Amino acid sequence: MTKPDIKKNKSTKTVFSESEATKIAEDLEFKSAEDILLWATTTFRQRLVLSTSFQATGMVILDMLSKISPDTRVMTLDTGRLPKATYDLIDQVQDQYDMQIEVQYPDSDNLKKIVAKHGINMFYKSYSLRLLCCEKRKLEPLSKALVDIDAWITGLTRQQGGTRTSTPKVTIDHKHNDILKINPIADWDNKMIWQYINDNKVPYNKLYDQGYTSIGCDPCTRPIEKNEDDRSGRWWWEKGMPKECGIHTFTKSK
Ligand code: SF4
């Protein structure tokens, strides 16, 4: 397994150069998700966090971590607009797994200002207001949570399309202080994800049983229609815009 030449900067942060990160990604490309998580948890320990919105991909990784390294930090963003089914799943995970879920919240003063100015459902008014809402409810709390972290794990997969098609297993995240971003199931497809969930009796968001294929905030997510791609139910009223909130892209609100 890859043993990186770890360098520490003044704040004891573990840092990697682009070429080191590329080499790690190449070494891990054909390793199993479990092997990648084992490498990540032994390399970064408490300076590693799984960030999950409790979608199927995140649940697969959380279940693997519970077996490999149950003291790994798990974090989620409560935007304040999540579906009830997602809150129910968070409760279920807390009960079922011996893992503490760290819940991050938006800054209430920031929310008050944008809601007063643009309305509680501003996201339906324009693309830029939708991005502003995502920025205040998701991007800002995530950025704060990743400040003292060396690496984070996500459930991104290449089959989700768009900018995710070329997701590497490991990359430097320039959006978040150049920490390492680890995507252990980047090469998984839906069949593999649901096979794992069924084989391991992993709890999942019940909205999947109602035709949802990607689950975010309640007012911005709907089930997909026949022949639509998996992320079509996100911000469904927007035409021709990236199906991203900005966490995994460099998209900026105006
Ligand atoms: S998904 Fe919708 S409600 Fe959630 S943060 Fe983005 S715009 Fe706001």
The tens digit of pLDDT for each residue in 211-226 reads 999 999 999 999 999 8
* Per-residue pLDDT reduced to its tens digit, 81-108: 999 999 999 999 999 998 889 999 999 9
| CB 104 within 8 Å of CB 141 | yes
- The residue whose C-alpha atom lies closest to atom 1 belonging to ligand 1 is 217
Strand ranges, E, within the chain:
7-8, 14-15, 48-51, 73-77, 101-104, 151-153, 170-173, 179-182
Q: What is the dihedral of CA 46, 52, 57, 62, to 10 degrees?
A: 40
| CB 235 within 8 Å of CB 243 | yes
- Ligand 1 within 6 A of 217 CB? yes
Per-residue pLDDT, 254? 34
Into how many domains does the chain fold? 1
> Which ligand 1 atom lies nearest to the CA of residue 234?
1
Within a 13 Å sphere around the CA of 38, how many CA atoms are in the beta-carbon half? 10
User: Global pTM?
Assistant: 0.92
Q: Is residue 70 part of a domain?
A: yes
- Which domain does 148 fall in, by range? 20-220
Q: Is residue 110 part of a domain?
A: yes
Q: Is residue 161 part of a domain?
A: yes
CATH number of the domain at 174, please: 3.40.50.620
- The residue whose C-alpha atom lies closest to atom 2 belonging to ligand 1 is 220
